[in-house]
Chain A
Amino acid sequence: MNYDFLRLTVGVLATVGLYSVLYRENKFYRFFEHIFLGLASGWTLVALWTESLKSNWWDKMVGTAAEGTNAAANGNWAYILLLPIGLMGYFVFSKKHNWMSRIPIGIILGLWSGQQIQVWWNTYGPQINASMKPIFPTTFSSFTVPATPEAGAVYPSQAITNFLFVLTVLSVLSYFLFSFDVKNRAIRNTSILGRYLLMIGFGAIFGSTVMMRFTLLIDRMYFIWIEWFQTWILRR
């Protein structure tokens, strides 16, 4: 039996098995679900070692001999201390000592939180800058942008668009920041406007999400009907 046909057929069986849950929960689905979990966790263990820990941890700890064009490298024995620290994380399963699991988590979270200062500025600095748009027109020679616009000019249509942009950013921000009860009517109304404008963002996210999920389904249908059925069963 051809290897490619066997591989594709098993893949189709597994796909159909998982899709059977759409009808109802059944043993066929659970069988393939458990195979999936087993394979995924097995591969995680393989990849963790072969793609990461072997070179990052083991080779750095025990060093490497000269081989081919690779020079010999000394071993740094202190890397062994990471093993007991990492194993402390497994104490989360202990009722009495689960506080120790917070030590490695604390290290990782501490390192993450220390990065937030620069992360915040790298992310939002340019965005704050890009949100400062000119909201007053500088020329009234044309309402909309002509085919050959004047250099640096802001036309009325652009000014209106920019104003709507800035208004949306500020009102959405006001909706988030003023989540407590505010007496000031201007701020309250701005927050309400922000809530409506937020829906535009959510609508866009929904539309894009739908495209993504349908693409995944179309890919599965292509796999079953074209890559397997048409190519191997119909032989076209």
Chain B
Amino acid sequence: MNPLHLLAQAPATNFWAEPNGSTSLWVKIVVGLIFGIGLIFALMAAPPQVRRPIVAGVTFLAGLFYVLFYLWPVPIDQKDGELPRNAVEGVGFWLKDALGVVVNFTNILTGFMIGLGIYSLLRIHLRRFFKFQKDWGFSLTLLLSMLAMIFFGYADWLSRLGERGALLDERSNWTLVNYGRDFLFEGLLQQMDAAMFSIIAFFILSAAYRAFRIRSVEATILLATALIVMLSLMGAVQYAIDTPIKQAAGPNGFLLNFQLSEISQWIRNTFQTSSLRGIAFGVGIGALAMGLRLWLSLERTGGNG
């Protein structure tokens, strides 16, 4: 059993990889699952003083992969079948080969963690429904909508798995499950998504009306810039202001610098970009420091450990 073969540079069949459908593969999967569940129970029994070192160690090892990836010489334009010449190159080759697997692990773990939000939603609404608490009817609505989407979503996906899958890109070949998915996704979900986000337009207008007051120098500068930006976004206004200036100035005239398009572009390129860049630099320095603190587990958060 070569541990390096776990992530990279592995022959086709080895301790970690078995042919599809083989008994040995399924035995190893079951054993692996039992081991994983055993690990959970072992961690549940872990004394409090080892908890923080475990989390810190896992975080450090995870971060170390990318730190090594960037600092260790890795092969550029690696050819198929090319082998490392020494231990340093060997580690570099391993890092390069392991990157795709590490990215895959990250995506899989994140995928499992996304389920947290849905699990939380289900906990609340299932409890409300089964105990007939206040607004249980709305919880039932939510659960039924979720089930409907899961059913039609999966059924639509399954219907596309066969050889006729590509034909379903044309509506004339649709069946009930395809219509169901389209109705729920395009007909309802996308429209409601758009509606939810568009409600903010009303609040922005109301907030701008009530709160946008020229009470200080800062507020005046903010308002003036916002006004110039909004006017520059209005092509008709820009045309109305720029056309007489263009006609008065002629080609290459000095007056052309006073067109709304030129003024807004100058403000954008001179002040807007530079001030946002200053913010970005400040945020970037903070993010780098935070990254280092997280990697080395120097961040103290609340809770156990």
Which A residues fall within an 8 A CB radius of B?
A: 3, 6-8, 10-12, 14-15, 18-19, 21-22, 30-32, 34-50, 52-53, 56-57, 60-65, 72-90, 92-93, 97-100, 102-118, 120, 123-124, 127, 131, 144, 146-147, 161, 164-166, 168-173, 175-177, 194-211, 213-214, 216-217, 219-220, 223
Contacts and interface: CB of A to CB of B under 8 A. Distances in A.
20 contacts: A18-B199, A32-B192, A34-B142, A37-B142, A43-B153, A45-B153, A49-B154, A72-B19, A75-B20, A112-B294, A113-B63, A114-B63, A120-B287, A168-B278, A194-B278, A198-B278, A203-B226, A207-B233, A210-B204, A213-B204
A37 B222 CA distance: 37
Contacts of B251: 147
B249 interface: no
A203 B183 contact: no
Interface size class for chain B?
35 or more
Given A74-B17, A110-B62, A200-B272, 6 more contacts: A18-B195, A38-B148, A39-B145, A81-B35, A111-B66, A113-B295
Contact of A112 (B107, B135, B153, B291): B291
Interface in B287-303: 287-288, 290-292, 294-295, 297, 303
A31 B141 contact: yes
Contact of A86 (B32, B109, B267): B109
A116 B182 CA distance: 41
Nearest to B20: A63
Contact of A164 (B146, B197, B270, B288): B270
Contacts of A60: 104
Given A45-B150, A114-B63, A200-B272, A84 B39 contact: yes
Contacts of A220: 194-195, 198
B225 A199 contact: yes
Contacts, number: 436
Interface stretch (B76-84, B117-125, B237-245): B117-125
Contacts of A113: 59, 63, 290-292, 294-295
A76 B198 contact: no
Interface string B34-46: 0111011001100
A201 B63 contact: no
Interface of B: 6, 12-13, 16-21, 25, 28-29, 32-33, 35-37, 39-40, 43-44, 51, 54-56, 58-67, 69-70, 102, 104-121, 123, 135, 138-139, 141-150, 153-154, 157, 179, 182-189, 191-202, 204, 208, 217-219, 221-230, 233, 251-252, 254, 257, 266-282, 284-285, 287-288, 290-292, 294-295, 297, 303-305
Contact of A38 (B69, B142, B272): B142
A201 B279 contact: yes
A72 B217 CA distance: 69
B205 to A, nearest CB: 8
A31 B140 CA distance: 10
Given A84-B40, A168-B274, A203-B224, A161 B154 contact: no
A66 B40 CA distance: 36
Contacts of B110: 108
A216 B197 CA distance: 7
Contact of B157 (A34, A46, A104): A46
Given A38-B146, A112-B291, A124-B281, A213 B200 contact: yes
Contacts of A48: 111, 114-115
A58 B293 CA distance: 34
Contact of A35 (B102, B141, B291): B141
A41 B285 CA distance: 36
Nearest to B297: A106
A88 B139 CA distance: 27
Contacts of B266: 161
Contact of B108 (A74, A86, A177): A86
Instruction: Please list the 7 inter-chain residue pairs (A to B) with the smallest Cβ-Cβ separation, ordered nearest first.
Output: A172-B278, A203-B225, A38-B145, A86-B112, A42-B149, A110-B62, A114-B66
Contact of A106 (B55, B147, B199): B55
B43 A88 contact: yes
Contacts of A99: 51, 55, 303-305
B225 A200 contact: yes
A109 B294 contact: yes
A165 B270 contact: yes
A75 B18 contact: yes
